[in-house]
Chain A
């Protein structure tokens, strides 16, 4: 094992995924040394953050050694050679615990890898561990974890957002350059915004869901978390693409987002979406307006638009997502795997197991969903919500007839205090009001850090695009990243608190 002191102190900023991959591919650095840096950072910082539920040190070291062997043998180690990656703990990893931060899956080790995990490994990436989340991805703060909350890397009294708060915090804190999360109602973008990193929700069907433990199947999509748009773009291209194991996977060419990052935004039509600005805190709204101004200065054609149907998104979402969840989570019955609480007969065992195994928020959503699907209520709730969804998709399509992308806030506020919204589920649900519409429509959207709020904590600006139009989305995101850097350089202390 090489000494890591030099590596780690070479720069204040942790290395980007692209820099690591280039160094490992050229033989300048070993994957083993890179992984040790990451494991060391996790050991130093994670006791406070609690971003990880499981650190797979042995797996990671073995994988790194294999990549170094590949490099030595002169073979191509892949575009993410030696890059440490953190996986949200609802992604199945063969032989490595996958808990969804739920007591009900305690001790379960999947016998198979999720498709994204296989693709990461094929690309040379090294999985270093599994990250914390709201139980079964149900939440917006990573507080609903049976293992306790993850803390915000810049302020331990605050939440990192959720539900992919563990991956977002790990990336933001520099423990790993890349993370994967899942986004059902904003669970990648919202923690990305709160933690000050890039978070992407791809077009539904572009990334295989095989091996992602389902929350709401028609909304779930796996997405990258990274510290730069370029890193997120590489990770996106690695995990995207048709998978015959997922029937909803699209058999379409993967958008080549890495090629468009320097393309600029001249002539792109950008709509600042009223519904994604109104209702956000004033400092967040100001950042969105600044972002729009910067895009206009860079040559984009910026206008204000209204998509009123977005206002119904939250209501529709909180019927459809729990309905699907109530069915997806039925299998945790104590019969085959995970927790079992013994009882005199099977039905009683099911009840005892589920009562002990699920947390309050999961139970709340199972109840909501069961109710929404029940005979006599289906038409009034679930079927109506699906009609709203159709209306929303049409509204988006109308907007995209004359616009390339939409712009708005990712989260209505910056990171909030731990405990602040736990007692008020509706306030917590409002955290996702800006992100939910894209899940309902299946369209891609991503969050890019853009300055800070009055509290000095990061603000994310959201870029939304039509289905399979990740290219203009990344194009705009890259421009925003440059603009944010320019603003930070111009304003003393503008990078927020550290």
Chain B
């Protein structure tokens, strides 16, 4: 089934209520609009997300095996995580601590909790049941505020163990056509916190923003390394649609196998379109679990409501109730670092006044990359905030590991030189590259070594005239309105000056000549 045309179409706000009104800058129109079906009435997407976060503990949830990604298969295993007869689980206290940190960061209430067994047969689950929190989760209630100003409420964030990993071997790599399967139990028993949102999300773009922000929060708490590509964060989406302006929820489908933000967005858009088409054709969506087929760009049915497993949950008799004392809870909450929203606010505060759309993006990037402490320190040592922000977002983010070790003093000094006109932007970036490579140093000394001095206005004008004279045909087209040729002229001037010219100054000179 293909989605009907117009699903991504920019229907704008469509005038229909429900979709979040507080959209920040930087959103593409894609998926952020109220979905429009082929009929006359608009539809609204309703999404709730279940995010599984692998906790960054040294050891697994119920045994002392190493919790590590990418090791030789079946090397981090023991009688407990292999579920050998007679073995028993013992709860990892640090996993509980991280779960409570997550709860604190998401404004949840930490409660006395317990574990249940979720029973179903699967070869990568050694005991053929999963130990998970069920009706008494450790974290209840809460919310996450997104950079766009919207709030997504959190139902719960509970502890559970991960399963092993099955790789189906065969020509297609798909389950039903596999010749055999390989199972790696290194992941079996790795601690997870499953964070369940209310169905407060109204678009694929908002879903992506939610996961992006949640990821940043999880990294900030120290609970997660945030590596979606390694499966540290895995998302299931509950998607339904309803007529815009109505309040009752439609029948939902749960979409599994969303391993990237891109998959998440595409799957929600596809599923929205599929359900709208179904409702418009038949009036009915069947509740089912569906699998996102990344290469096919579609969701395919996994099991229907009737085929849903009866997990036969019952209290795990091998574990005792988990009742963290108040002091421990407070300690966990206190060890949560500055959260992304607060860190973004700190950078915006440095700029003073309302940030531009570009600056909002830069703030996002700098915070996401963990460069905000460097920017704050550089500004404290005299660097202009806006320049520090843009250089951090663009230049430092490119070589993150080295940039994180950069001396804020050197960075501040360089930016001050640039702001004062002692270096052009291009020269400044070249010096910055050296500073990053060396972890710091004397920007003035490096600039002198490179023979950098800002080109005077008059010599720049002369070079620009020379370049224009040498390329009459391009100049004529530029005069006729072919603006993109500005780049061509800038490149030629840069080459002629050995990179000493300032890009903005060249642009200004070109504009002056064109007039």
Q: Is B399 an interface residue (CB 8 A)?
A: no
Interface size class of B (residues with CB under 8 A): 20 to 34
Q: Is A268 an interface residue (CB 8 A)?
A: no
Q: Which residues of A contact B126 (CB under 8 A)?
A: 331, 336
Asked if B121 and A330 make an inter-chain contact with CB atoms under 8 angstroms apart, the answer reads: yes
B351 to A: closest C-beta gap in Å: 52
- Could you tell me the distance between the alpha carbons of A247 and B128 in the complex, rounded to whole angstroms? 20
A327 touches which of B79, B90, B314 (Cβ 8 Å): B314
Q: How would residues 227 to 256 of chain A score, 1 for a CB under 8 Å from any chain B CB and 0 otherwise?
A: 000000000000000001111100000000
Closest to A108 in B: B85
Asked if A331 and B88 make an inter-chain contact with CB atoms under 8 angstroms apart, the answer reads: no
Asked if B84 and A330 make an inter-chain contact with CB atoms under 8 angstroms apart, the answer reads: no
Asked if B123 and A331 make an inter-chain contact with CB atoms under 8 angstroms apart, the answer reads: no
Name the prevailing secondary structure of the A interface residues.
loop
- Could you tell me the distance between the alpha carbons of A327 and B90 in the complex, rounded to whole angstroms? 18
- Could you tell me the distance between the alpha carbons of A336 and B183 in the complex, rounded to whole angstroms? 10
Asked if A350 and B86 make an inter-chain contact with CB atoms under 8 angstroms apart, the answer reads: no
Interface segment out of the listed B42-50, B142-150, B317-325, B478-486: B317-325
Q: How would residues 122 to 154 of chain B score, 1 for a CB under 8 Å from any chain A CB and 0 otherwise?
A: 010011110000000000000000000000000
Q: Is B87 an interface residue (CB 8 A)?
A: yes
B509 to A: closest C-beta gap in Å: 72
Q: Is B18 an interface residue (CB 8 A)?
A: no
Closest to A113 in B: B86
A-B contact count (CB 8 A): 96
Q: Is B91 an interface residue (CB 8 A)?
A: yes
A217 to B: closest C-beta gap in Å: 4
Asked if B88 and A247 make an inter-chain contact with CB atoms under 8 angstroms apart, the answer reads: yes
B85 touches which of A110, A244, A370 (Cβ 8 Å): A110
Interface size class of A (residues with CB under 8 A): 35 or more
A212 to B: closest C-beta gap in Å: 6
Q: Which residues of A contact B88 (CB under 8 A)?
A: 209-210, 245-247
Asked if B86 and A214 make an inter-chain contact with CB atoms under 8 angstroms apart, the answer reads: yes
Asked if A211 and B128 make an inter-chain contact with CB atoms under 8 angstroms apart, the answer reads: no
Asked if A382 and B86 make an inter-chain contact with CB atoms under 8 angstroms apart, the answer reads: no
- Could you tell me the distance between the alpha carbons of A335 and B182 in the complex, rounded to whole angstroms? 11
Closest to A375 in B: B310
Q: Assuming the A-B contacts A350-B121, A375-B310, are A218 and B317 also in contact, with contact meaning beta carbons closer than 8 angstroms in the complex?
A: yes
Q: Is B312 an interface residue (CB 8 A)?
A: yes
Closest to A91 in B: B86
B95 to A: closest C-beta gap in Å: 14
Q: Which residues of B contact A378 (CB under 8 A)?
A: 312, 314
Q: Is B181 an interface residue (CB 8 A)?
A: yes
Q: Which residues of B contact A335 (CB under 8 A)?
A: 123, 183
Going nearest first, the 4 A-B pairs with the smallest beta carbon separation are A330-B128, A217-B317, A373-B312, A218-B317
A residues at B contact (CB < 8 Å): 90-92, 98, 100, 105, 108, 110-112, 114, 209-214, 216-218, 244-248, 323-324, 326-327, 330-331, 333, 335-337, 346-347, 350, 370, 373-375, 378, 382
Q: Beyond A98-B86, A248-B318, A331-B127, list 20 extra A-B contacts (CB 8 Å).
A: A110-B85, A110-B86, A112-B79, A114-B86, A210-B86, A210-B88, A212-B86, A214-B86, A214-B318, A247-B89, A247-B90, A326-B119, A331-B126, A333-B121, A333-B123, A333-B128, A336-B82, A336-B83, A350-B121, A375-B312
